[in-house]
Amino acid sequence: MEYMRVALEEARQAAAEGEIPVGAVIVKDGAVIAKAHNRRENDHDPTAHAEMLAMREAARILGDWRLRGCTLYVTLEPCPMCAGAMVMSQLSGCVYGAADEKQGCCGSVYDLPADPALAGQTKWQSGVMAEDCGEMMRTFFAGRRG
């Protein structure tokens, strides 16, 4: 739960910047090596999801695109793009908070990281601090709707 709390803090920062409140951290050997939050609006970049930014930073810090031995903690279930990047980076694990019934690809809509047709697989766990993560999303979108 300690790492999900860090991800939630990143999500709060995203919301403060007008971004959809998703935060992510990458952990290796018990230490946070990268953290990020959504930046699509501010960066005008469709790939600037919290997970993608955290994986890029972790790869830079490690000096290797292979994220073996790393675990991603993210407040919202990864989308197809992020779940695909998890597999392609050889990320060892993903832990997420709130499920995404519309676009989630770690069990909700599809289980991309476990697809046997892919060369690698990333293990995932859902529901960690799900209520806190989901409430942040609900509050953010309720505010947007007025």
pLDDT tens column, 47-100: 999 999 999 999 999 999 999 999 999 999 999 999 999 999 999 999 999 999
2 classed as catalytic:
no
**If DSSP states are collapsed to H, E and C, what string results for the chain?**
CHHHHHHHHHHHHHHHCCCCCCEEEEEECCEEEEEEECCHHHHCCCCCCHHHHHHHHHHHHHCCCCCCCEEEEEEECCCHHHHHHHHHCCCCEEEEEECCCCCCCECCCCEHHHCCCCCCCCEEECCCCHHHHHHHHHHHHHHHHC
Of the residues 10, 17, 41, 51, only one is catalytic, namely: 51
Q: What is the pLDDT of residues 104-127, one digit of tens each?
A: 999 999 999 999 999 888 999 999
